[in-house]
Amino acid sequence: MAAEEQVWIDGRLVNKGDAMVSVFDHGLLYGDGVFEGIRAYGGKVFEEQAHLDRFYESARSIRLDVPYAADELSRVMSDLLVTNGLNDAYIRLVATRGVGDLGLDPRKCPRASVFCIASTITLYPEELYEKGLDVVVASHCKNHPNATPPRVKSLNYLNSVLGKIEANDAGVLEAIMLNHLGHVAECTADNVFLVKNGVVSTPPAEAGILEGITRDVVMRLCRQEGIECRERNLVRHDLYVADECFLTGTAAEVIPVVKIDGRPIGAGTPGEVSRRLKQAFHAYARGERDLPR
């Protein structure tokens, strides 16, 4: 294992402290690029195919040619886990438009740059997975689907950063964002689920969300567990009158929400369905149960 954490940048391994990109990289100048946040459990990259598919699809949507094939990037990730001596890890795979001039025309950037970080992450304090999270509904709405498409995991996270600032200002850790129609979309970097009368609901792709890979796993777990799960549009009222609420994301995994805008959700403690799905998620992530596609 290397003495200092290694970062892979376009075929080279460099020490974390020396891992730099150019100030002329359009990823930095314009947020022009795409990325993935990926977990590894027990040394194995979790839902790797789904992450790679989404990575190339995001790149395709913004007409960015990733100069590496999926199997090369797969090898980069698994080698980096070994190099950094990591079993349970968080991997960040990033493709930027690359170095160009000071105009924003991507044609001036001859080659995309790709880098990969394998490290660890703790998004929320451990005890909140048991106690549940307080969140607020942000006043900033999600980007319009025909503006910066929320389905593209782009380097342009300012919309989410504005939501996060609202959460910070309200003294909570996360914010739920509505779309331009007033429908519930998602949190700043997590998808949102509600439970009402035993039925699980989550906003559809058309609500302007990132189609989360954890979200997909949870929907499949619902199916396997015989829990009804619907993709449907939700409004603020649905949030306030839900029996349970929980969030999903690669970094967040599955975390219950117990308060929205200061209002207790259900009994104000994590609900049974959320708890069951959280356990099922961890069992699947640890390879202790199968899950059909």
Query: Could you tell me how many residues of this chain bind ligand PMP (CB under 6 A)?
Result: 15
Q: Which of 44, 142, 153, 259 is catalytic?
A: 153
Give the x/- contact pattern for ligand PMP in 10-39, rule: CB under 6 A. ---------------------------x--
249 is a site residue for ligand PMP (CB under 6 A): yes
What length is written for the chain? 293
With contacts defined by CB under 6 A, name the span among 26-34, 101-109, 188-196, 264-272 that binds ligand PMP: 188-196
245 is a site residue for ligand PMP (CB under 6 A): no
Nearest CA among 225, 281, 226 for reference residue 248: 281
Taking the least distance from each CB to ligand PMP, the nearer of 31 and 67 is 31
Q: Which of 113, 154, 191, 274 binds ligand PMP (CB under 6 A)?
A: 191
Taking the least distance from each CB to ligand PMP, the nearer of 176 and 213 is 213
Query: Measured from the CB of residue 187, what is the shortest distance to ligand PMP in angstroms?
Result: 7
Q: Is residue 238 within 8 Å of residue 202, measured between CB atoms?
A: no
Q: Look at residue 277 and give its three-state secondary structure.
A: helix
In sign, the C-alpha dihedral spanning 63, 67, 72, 78 is negative
Residue 11 has which token pair?
């075929």
Query: Measured from the CB of residue 214, what is the shortest distance to ligand PMP in angstroms?
Result: 3
Burial class of residue 79, CB neighbours in 10 A (0-12, 13-18, 19+): middle
DSSP single-letter state for residue 79 = H
| Residues facing residue 25 across a β-bridge | 99
Give the x/- contact pattern for ligand PMP in 35-54, rule: CB under 6 A. --x-----------------
Q: Which of 156, 179, 250, 274 binds ligand PMP (CB under 6 A)?
A: 250
Residue 196 known to be catalytic? no
Q: How far apart are CA 271 and CA 46, in angstroms?
A: 26
Query: Measured from the CB of residue 217, what is the shortest distance to ligand PMP in angstroms?
Result: 8
With contacts defined by CB under 6 A, name the span among 1-9, 97-105, 184-192, 236-244 that binds ligand PMP: 184-192
Q: Which of 25, 48, 174, 190 binds ligand PMP (CB under 6 A)?
A: 190
Inter-helix orientation angle 272-285/213-225, to 10°: 110
Residue 96 has which token pair?
């930027």
Q: Which of 210, 255, 265, 280 binds ligand PMP (CB under 6 A)?
A: 210
Between CA 283 and CA 199, with CA 232 as vertex, the angle to 5 degrees is: 50
The percent helix, strand, coil of the chain (3-state, each to 5) is 30, 25, 40
Q: How far apart are CA 175 and CA 260, in angstroms?
A: 9
Residue 242: CB partners within 8 Å, gap ≥ 6?
194, 195, 196, 265, 266
Give the x/- contact pattern for ligand PMP in 124-163, rule: CB under 6 A. ------------------------------------x---
Contacting positions for ligand PMP (CB under 6 A):
37, 160, 186, 189-191, 210, 212-215, 248-251
Active site residues: 153
